[in-house]
């Protein structure tokens, strides 16, 4: 049952990330990697809700580890950070790093409070 919950959540999380990322890239053409930023901050908020709700272990596995684990993307965040470094886009780099960490932690905290 746990493996099925994890796999189901991961399947839908990855599809949701792909869809939101593709849509965001069609409406945002600036240097700032908005798609990954929105996905990671939203995922942080939702994980805060999951953790703060004290769901049973199967639901936490489905939603937290499965869905949100595949919805959010630490590796793309780091890749885009390195691309900003390579392109010497320092202002966007500092903004992206600062906002990602501050908003991510703040969103998770807000999710826990609102749960």
Where exactly are the structural domains of the chain? 2-114
Q: What is the pLDDT of residues 76-86, one digit of tens each?
A: 999 999 999 99
* pLDDT reported for residue 8: 98
- Alpha carbon separation from 19 to 1, 49, 63 (Å, rounded): 27, 22, 18
Indicate the pTM of the whole model.
0.94
* pLDDT reported for residue 69: 97
Closest by Cα among 66, 22, 23, 59 to 43: 66
């Amino acid at each position: 049952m746990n493996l099925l919950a994890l796999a189901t959540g991961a399947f839908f999380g990855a599809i949701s990330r792909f869809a939101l990322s593709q849509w965001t890239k069609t409406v945002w053409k600036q240097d700032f990697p908005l798609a990954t930023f929105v996905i990671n901050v939203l995922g942080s908020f939702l994980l805060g809700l999951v953790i703060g709700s004290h769901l049973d272990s199967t639901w936490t596995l489905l939603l937290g580890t499965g869905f949100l684990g595949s919805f959010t993307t630490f590796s793309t965040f780091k890749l885009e950070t390195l691309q900003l470094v390579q392109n010497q886009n320092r202002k966007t780099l500092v903004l992206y790093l600062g906002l990602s960490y501050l908003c991510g932690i703040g969103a998770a905290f807000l999710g826990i409070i609102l749960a």
